[in-house]
Structure 1
Amino acid sequence: MAKELWEMTLEELWGLFPIILKEYNTAYPKWYEIEKEKLVENFDDGTIVRISHIGSTAVPGIISKPTVDILMEISSRSNISLITDKLKSMKWGLMNFSKKPIFRQTYSKGYTKYGFEEKVYHLHVRYADNWSELYFRDYLIEHPEVAKEYVDLKMQLKEKYEHNRDAYTDAKEEFISKYSEIAKIQYKERYKITPV
């Protein structure tokens, strides 16, 4: 009988959920919209300041992990315990949580003790701010040559870190930071938001 996810070691989890890169799926935007609607419905009290599709599945045409990343920006006055309870009741599993240096929560859907479901999601809950992920997404969409470089990098890293998700993510950081900073200069204050 398969172990429950919470019983598995990190190595077992990485073995069960390796880095998989797939061709772009035109259903990704629809998958995002389905979950976005549910979130907006369940948090109709002003908790959500902005909600966005981020990550590689938000960039049409590029190879990516088949995981739809959603950034849910919340008011700094939000009750975190209530948000956590509500998301858990919506079948989101809390993957990690940190308060320092900044508040971040990451939830997931689509992970089972037998492997990935067809639809896999990560939900990033943060206080509303000028997040780099929004700029990086736009830059890749508007600069296909940089998007291709990013795909090439991911393909190389997948070979090296197929069963080490943390190392795979860390190894992309320099590239992402470089182009996020360029995008922030080019797009100026496109995603600046007044803290609430």
Structure 2
Amino acid sequence: MTADELAALFPIILVPHQDAWQGWFMRESARLRALLPLEQIYQLTHVGSTAIEGIWAKPTVDMLLEATDEAAFLSLAARLPDCGYIHMRHERERASFNRGYTPQGFAPEVFHLHLRLRGDADEVYFRDYLNLHPELAKEYERLKLSLWRPFEHDRDGYTAAKGEFVRRITEQAKRYFQGEF
């Protein structure tokens, strides 16, 4: 499949916040905990826009899976495809996996799993800071909505266009929480 065909099959879609997303996370988290070695998992948590109260988001649940150490990271990365995840990217101690992308388009439930080493939890800082500061969450929502149509078929461009905001807020969050995560 060409990049253009993929972009047409899997466009950026934003919808109002749905309480059901927490249930998606809970079920998928339980499924993964039953399939993966628990001693290798430091933390598995719901992150991304679906974990931020009251804002529009892609109907895709992001999860952060922190491995206890480098050996656990490699082991988990090797096991996730057996759990139905497609390996998308791997850069040093960061890997990304997707589940719910089918040849017909999106499945009813879609997941992005971010595999990191313990303590690499920028997504948690970002999520918790926006949940504590609803005005910033709404600013993020406005940014996302403004980018939706121009980047509807360009996921990388959409992510890059949000990058400065995400970096700025994550740095504020790290100062605010002072290394809590």
TM above 0.5, yes or no, is: yes
1:83 aligns with 2:63: no
1:87-166 superposed matches below 5 A:
87-99=80-92, 103-166=93-156
The one-letter amino acid of 1:87's match is: L
Q: Give the CA deviation at 1:79.
A: 4.8
Answer with 1 or 2: which has the greater Rg.
Answer: 1
The whole-number CA distance in structure 2 between the counterparts of 1:45 and 1:160 is 42
Greater CA drift, 106-115 or 71-80: 71-80
Q: Secondary structure at the match of 1:78?
A: helix
Determine what percentage of the aligned residue pairs are the same residue.
Answer: 40
The whole-number CA distance in structure 2 between the counterparts of 1:20 and 1:154 is 10
- Specify which of 6, 14, 27 is matched with residue 20 of structure 2: 27
The whole-number CA distance in structure 2 between the counterparts of 1:17 and 1:76 is 33
The whole-number CA distance in structure 2 between the counterparts of 1:133 and 1:89 is 25
TM-score by length of 1: 0.87
Q: Give the CA deviation at 1:50.
A: 1.1
- Output one character per residue of 1:91-128: Cα deviation in whole Å (capped at 9) or x when no partner: 111111122xxx11111111111111110000111111
The whole-number CA distance in structure 2 between the counterparts of 1:45 and 1:183 is 29
- Measured at CA, do residues 126 and 160 of structure 1 come closer, stay the same or move farther in structure 2, by a change above 3 Å? same
Q: Give the CA deviation at 1:187.
A: 1.2
- Specify which of 14, 17, 29 is matched with residue 36 of structure 1: 29
Q: Secondary structure at the match of 2:39?
A: coil
- Measured at CA, do residues 155 and 45 of structure 1 come closer, stay the same or move farther in structure 2, by a change above 3 Å? closer
Counterpart for residue 55 of structure 2: 62
- Specify which of 161, 164, 171 is matched with residue 161 of structure 2: 171
Q: How many residues were matched structurally?
A: 181
Structure number with the higher helix fraction is 2
The one-letter amino acid of 1:75's match is: T
The whole-number CA distance in structure 1 between the counterparts of 2:123 and 2:95 is 15
- Specify which of 2, 6, 23 is matched with residue 9 of structure 1: 2
Q: Give the CA deviation at 1:174.
A: 0.4
CA contact (8 A) 2:60 2:112 kept: yes
- Runs of 4 or more above 3 Å deviation: 79-82
- Measured at CA, do residues 131 and 83 of structure 1 come closer, stay the same or move farther in structure 2, by a change above 3 Å? closer
